[in-house]
Amino acid sequence: MQIYAYLLNLVYCLLLACASPVILYRVLVQKKYRSGLAQKFFGQLSERNSYEPCFWFHAVSVGEVLQLPPLLEELKRQNPTLELVISTTTHTGYAVAKEKFPEFTVCYFPLDFSWAVKRALQRIRPTAVLLVEMELWPNFVLAADQAGIPVSIINGRLSEKSFRGYRKLRWLIGPLLNRLKLIAVQTDAYAERFQKLTGRADRIQVTGSIKFDGIQVDRANPLTAELRNIFRLKSGETVLIAGSTQSPEEQIALEVYLAARQQFPRLRLILVPRHQERFHEVAELVKQYGLPLIRRSEQESGEAGSVLPFTNSQTPAIGLLDTLGELKSCWGLADIAFVGGSLTKRGGQNMIEPAGYGTALMLGPNTWNFKDVVDALLQHEAVTIVQNRAAFQETLIEWLEDPPLAEAQGARAQRFVLDQRGATLRTLSLIAPLLAGGQSDAQDKAA
């Protein structure tokens, strides 16, 4: 194992050396990757001093972090003395985790160097590590296994594209997966793929997706109401939200919106870029079109009433949600939603949240990251796939001409989401036995 770890360290160092020009550019010019360097490179996580049981949840980024609240709330309710650590990989994920879980320890996940993962495990001393969805790092899994710390996957997913890649490395991935205590996955299809990689089924369980349990379905929730006021939405207006977008999806949404507004002047548009670093770019794009703009961040910083100037006083402002962690509530404003990353090559973004509100839902054709959810929505006639800008515009106008048609699709989407709930309790029943070892250790220390 030691030689294996050294070889991995060497490979990682070589990869870092090759990528160093890009990394330096992003650090110095784009000011990315600057936070948490000691935690990432040396495993200098906050040292845990108590001997109470501890679960370490690793959530890669914002999407995984936002899945955790219902699970962690119920876990703490059932086990009040349990300590929780939440780690993330990305800066945005870390920021949202700090906001959502101020009472828990939040940190960056160490890079997969043997010295970093060993020190991180020594400092946290977790009873168990739970990887949300799946981010599997060899040195981390091996170090945890050597220390007798069980590692599990919860809410696991394995897309067809990822499966094809992992299957080529089955000689590496299979043994790592077989060191896991539990692989709790969202669907039977994911279970089958994991079974093909591991050659066994005894540790694989289908729980459904905990994403559905945390989905908000009440449009009257306080944050949605606050955002309605901030974006100055009026009764009788129809709201189109293009969320989790990448370039050029914002431009497509703007052009579709402007074309549709010629016939439907009470249409409003809110843009929500996927990445924080593109907020200013999208604001400038709106400005180039000569459209007024309301930026959520400016309202938050005390500049309420700040709207970029425009020449046509009859044109309502475009909304730009340029804050983190609020898209979940913003979807509650949408009568019609387009979920981004689907007209580009990203493979789609989470469409469950707008579906939960009963929103008429549009996606581009590239949704392989959420294939099973999209297939289920299609089976329930609860989503419309638009192949390009022309189809986006055609569908939008069709729904604006026939609102009951859009409302019926939205109602089917909401029913689908409500029918999927229950994964949180099923997941808790599977991970509860992992507490036994930590409780015994705490009792031994107390004695």
Helix (H, G, I), strand (E, B) or coil at 243: strand
Q: Which residues contact 235 (CB under 8 A, 6 or more apart)?
A: none
Task: Tell me the three state secondary structure of residue 420.
Answer: coil
The residues, any chain, with a CB within 8 Å of residue 176's CB and separated by 6 or more, are 136, 138, 141, 142
> Contact at 8 Å (CB) between 156 and 186?
yes
In angstroms, rounded to a whole number, what is the distance separating the alpha carbons of residues 240 and 365? 19
Helices (H) and strands (E) in the chain, counts: 21, 14
Dihedral over Cα of 359, 360, 366, 371: its sign? positive
Rounded to 5°, the CA angle 303-246-271 comes to 35
CA distances 250 to 177, 231, 306, Å, are 40, 18, 21
Judge whether 160 and 192 are in contact, CB under 8 Å: no
Q: Are strands 318-320 and 238-245 parallel, antiparallel or unpaired?
A: unpaired
> Residues with catalytic annotation?
64
For residue 59, give the nearest of 132, 120, 112 by alpha carbon: 132
Please provide the DSSP assignment of 188-200 as one string. Answer: HHHHHHHHHHHS-
In whole angstroms, give the CA distance from residue 34 to residue 46.
18
Q: Which residues contact 139 (CB under 8 A, 6 or more apart)?
A: 5, 8, 9, 112, 113, 114, 117
The two beta strands, 267-273 and 204-206, are unpaired
- Residue recorded with tokens 């060497």: 10
**From its phi and psi, is residue 368 left (phi > 0), alpha (psi between -120 and 50) or beta?**
alpha
CA dihedral for 102, 103, 109, 110, sign (positive or negative): positive
Count of CB atoms situated within 10 Å of the CB of 77:
8
Strand, helix or coil for residue 87: strand
Instruction: Copy the structure tokens of residue 129.
Output: 């590590």
How many beta carbons lie within 10 A of that of residue 139, not counting itself? 23
